[in-house]
């Protein structure tokens, strides 16, 4: 009886072990299939732009996802599809006579079809461009690429709430001028600021 019990318990352990191994292999296979299908869907789904990022791998992966999502969302909000073959290139600088935030190029084929390329800059004149500014430049450029579908804008109402900065070459005014020598030989210093304030208060 003891030998039979030992053989049965040993057989049960082997069954459980093989069941655990089989379950682990099943989970790994399902995960691999899901990742493969998701990768293929992201690559071949309709309306998705081709995005090239000139950045480090982690930043490039995040930017590629955000740029593609922003482009699809913007086109969908306008009731249109992205142009076929749209290419978005995010690089360090964009230069067209001077450094720009973005540049839209259109290439016309022999059959009259157009293919658009959007260039976006990661820095302008040494200033690092934020992610929000990058996506704003993307939407601005996409407006031109979608004109054939949604038409040209018939109304533009600009709004600028940014406080203008002081110019770099502005004249510097001295608050306390240097003392001047009078004809009598004595030096007369400028009126102290505290005295000016007291006189204005009185």
pLDDT in tens, 87-96: 999 999 999 9
* Least confident stretch, 34-43, 124-133, 189-198: 189-198
Shared domain for 26 and 66, answered yes or no, is no
Do 64 and 23 belong together in one domain?
no
What's the number of domains the chain is made of?
2
The SS3 assignment for 138 reads: helix
For the chain, report the end-to-end CA distance as a whole number of angstroms: 116
Report yes or no on whether pTM surpasses 0.75: no
Residues 72 and 32 in one domain: no
pLDDT above 90 (res 104): yes
- Position 196 scores a pLDDT of 44
74 and 125 in a single domain? The answer is: yes
Pair 29, 72 in one domain: no
Tens of pLDDT, residue by residue over 144-200, are: 999 988 988 888 888 777 666 555 555 555 555 555 555 555 555 544 544 444 445
pLDDT of residue 197: 47
* Cβ atoms within 10 Å, residue 80: 16
HSE-up of residue 122 (Cα within 13 Å, Cβ side): 12
d(CA 56, CA 60): 6
What mean pLDDT do residues 52-63 have? Answer: 91
Per the CB < 8 A criterion, the answer to whether 145 and 115 are in contact is no
Q: Are 120 and 137 in contact (CB under 8 A)?
A: yes
Q: How much of the chain exceeds pLDDT 90, in percent?
A: 46
Q: Between 50 and 178, name the one with better pLDDT.
A: 50
pLDDT of residue 157: 84
């Amino acid at each position: 009886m003891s030998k039979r019990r030992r053989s049965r318990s040993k057989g049960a352990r082997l069954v459980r072990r093989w069941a655990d191994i089989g379950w682990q292999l099943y989970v790994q296979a399902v995960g691999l299939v899901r990742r493969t299908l998701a990768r293929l869907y992201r690559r071949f789904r309709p309306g998705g732009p081709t995005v090239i990022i000139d950045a480090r791998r982690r930043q490039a992966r995040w930017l590629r996802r955000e740029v593609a999502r922003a482009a699809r969302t913007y086109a969908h909000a306008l009731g249109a599809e992205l142009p076929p073959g749209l290419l978005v290139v995010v690089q360090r600088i964009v230069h067209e006579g001077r450094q720009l935030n973005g540049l839209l190029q259109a290439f016309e084929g022999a059959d009259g079809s157009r293919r658009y390329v959007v260039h976006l800059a990661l820095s302008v004149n040494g200033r690092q461009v934020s992610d929000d500014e990058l996506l704003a430049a993307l939407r601005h450029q996409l407006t031109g690429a979608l004109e054939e579908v949604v038409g040209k804008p018939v109304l533009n109402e600009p709004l600028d709430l940014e406080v203008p900065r002081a110019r770099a070459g502005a004249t510097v005014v001295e608050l306390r001028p240097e003392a001047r020598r009078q004809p009598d030989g004595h030096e007369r210093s400028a009126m102290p600021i505290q005295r000016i304030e007291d006189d204005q208060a009185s």
